[in-house]
Structure 1
Amino acid sequence: MGWFNRRKDSTTIAADGSIDIDALTNQASQGDDTAQQSAWKAIFELPAWHFVGDRERPKAPVVIHHAQQGSCVLAFTDAEHAARYARERHLLNEQGETFHIEMRIPNALAYLKQLGERGVKGILFNISPVGLGAVLSDFIPEIERVLQHQIANRFDELVKRAHAQGGGTAFREVWAEAHSLTTWYFVGDKQMPDRPYLNIVNGEPAVFAFTDEIHALRFIKEEGLQLDDGSASLLGYPLPLALETLVRLYKEHHVPRVVFNSNSEYFIGFLKDLPDKS
């Protein structure tokens, strides 16, 4: 996935011990597939990506025309790369400051989807002094997959730590973290695939929710909840719709709790504690 500018360099560890993405990109440009994969892995694991605003639209990342790929949005792995490009292209305000934009990866992903719908074809990282690029139609599904794994691993660790600490405040932190997600996932009932699956837990009905697709699909497989044709009914609800659905289950069907990530490092939330915006 990607195309590369060429510059010879064999170093992959920066002086401070961090991964040198520029060096990995250089190695990848020489045909090193392992370096290419490592460069993308390092980019995916960054806490945020950086962009430079256009002079006419300071809050909109610069989009350029690439000779082979068409229109591409410019992204940078850190503020230093972004500032260097801005200074080279004189993308500065009247005070000589750069139009710096920082986006956490989930927010950047949502923005890239919007750009793709508007016809932008690719993304270029660190175009100056060395670049790494990808076609958005390849890049977006890959970063979605990586984010799903990151979310799954993060919640397993959070819940494991909360169990070790005996619950209480630790589980309130897990619950708060779940509310920071943009999407909650549910498994469709075998008889009514468009409705979330319910079952009895400790003598009371519960709805099963998941922080990510990985936990949900694992639950479907382990519990034999595939539909008659062998497919899986996976329901991804934006957080406001998910909360609305759970509140309705509590008020109208007397479901008292939600079990998150069952068959893994699970945690339980009580629906009476959810905000009712009806």
Structure 2
Amino acid sequence: MFTNPFAELSFISPAVMQGYVVLMILLVAGGTILDMIVKKNAKYFFENSRKAKAQAKRSLSAAEKGTLAAQTLAKEVLTSGEFANPQRRLSHLFTMYGFILFILSTAILIFGYPTSQSAGIFPLLWHLGALMLCFGGYWFWFRIRVDVSAEGNPWYRVVRADIFILSLLAMATSGLIWSIFQSIGLGGLSILFFVLFIAATTALFGTVYWSKFAHMFFKPAAAFQKRVVHAEGSRENLPEIPELTDPAVKQMYPDIPEYMGDKPPYMGLGINREAPSHY
């Protein structure tokens, strides 16, 4: 089973497959740039950065910024430590690393081994990435997303933000089924699921502007900037969280105890520190 599925596509030349991969890369780049221009995400980001810099109480050295960048890489990027819910975090990690494995191994197989069935370990990584992606993605869609304490949406309610996860799951699922049917000699069904695989892949990379695909590029930069703002002592673009021991707070909220167990101090003050989000 763990053979290069692309090597069996004798009716498609390697140049066509490679051209398709390049086209998908261009669609991602174009969609991300369009998202930045139209939605003005970059402009908003740099304006907030400029305002925070003006309010900074200290300047950070290059070494300090390097440390903050490493912390961002270790927590928000590599381990998704911003997710408080451990199930959501694990689901995200399976999906993220499965996607990376799947995409990288696809590119290696198409550009490095377009006609080789064995292709070393990369066919195994391709299938492993697809399985990890499916595990994490379906866990999110059918378990976490319908959890009232997390997202609170039924699995059958689809909104525009779901384009990314649904096309991602369709790509990985149809790719696996295509590979299975191809390996057992079901030619007609394998062609059907190969067409579905291409359709889902095109939908994933062609809808970057409308989905939350571009979010994965903005998220690390925003997390790093938040760390820098905090380290510089600037006023963050977040509501101020009062101390419950402050006499003024006690006077405003006489019914709130000073100790609230494992709840954060802003619970009960009408402040929503975290807003739910999709992939």
From the two aligned structures, give the one with the greater strand fraction. Answer: 1
- The two structures share one fold, judged by TM-score above 0.5: no
Question: For this structure pair, what is the TM-score category when the shorter chain's length is used for normalisation?
Answer: under 0.3
The answer to which structure, 1 or 2, has the higher relative contact order (CA under 8 A, 6+ apart) is: 2
Task: With the length of structure 2 as denominator, give the TM-score of the two structures.
Answer: 0.25
Task: With the length of structure 1 as denominator, give the TM-score of the two structures.
Answer: 0.25
From the two aligned structures, give the one with the greater helix fraction. Answer: 2
